[in-house]
Amino acid sequence: MAGLRTGYPGLTHTAKQIAAFIGDCDVFCEPFAGLGRVSEHIKANRYVLNDKSSFAFDYLCKHFDRPGFHITQMDFANCVLLTDAPDVTFFFDPPWVRADYALNPKTFCDRGVGKYYQALRDLVPHLKGRWFVAGRANGGARSTVSVYFKDYASTVIEGQRTINGHTVKTKLCFKGE
């Protein structure tokens, strides 16, 4: 865990698999974009990447400065409300462990992890677009994403890497079709 506090948390080891699961999109919006690890593997006509972290915002502006990309630095809820439409696919990857953010000046986390997931749980039933919420796969039914999104479909995405003998896994919850 300590290594995460000096780097930048993210979905580096499951991003390609998550993108493949989501599929092609007309508009792809990532309100907690971080370094855009999933966005770089998504095929879309237009992208909205948002992150409150100044480090992440600067990174996104530098690495995704091309036509079709709109980079913002606002509260995730405002980003969602300004972007929501039937042709939008949202990918939410809120903070998983507050300690990973508290000691890292590159990141932004202004509330407890549960508060982010609770806000998303209250928001997603009203969205016009498709949505996916990422969270920690370990912890089973007690993981934050499992607690707040237990009434939705889910899948576990496995990465190609192991850390401390465990395969890197991300749980995705989404509204079933």
Domain residue extents for the chain: 2-174
The angle at the Cα of 79, spanning 94 to 15, to the nearest 5 degrees, equals 40
pLDDT in tens, the chain (177 residues): 344 444 445 677 889 999 999 999 999 999 999 999 999 999 999 999 999 999 999 999 999 999 999 999 999 999 999 999 999 999 999 876 655 656 777 777 677 777 988 999 999 999 999 999 998 877 666 678 888 999 999 998 887 776 666 677 888 899 866
Name which CATH class applies to 2-174: alpha beta
5 close to 103: Cβ distance less than 8 angstroms? yes
| Prediction pTM value | 0.88
Residue 109, C-beta contacts closer than 8 angstroms, at least 6 positions apart: 95, 98, 101, 102
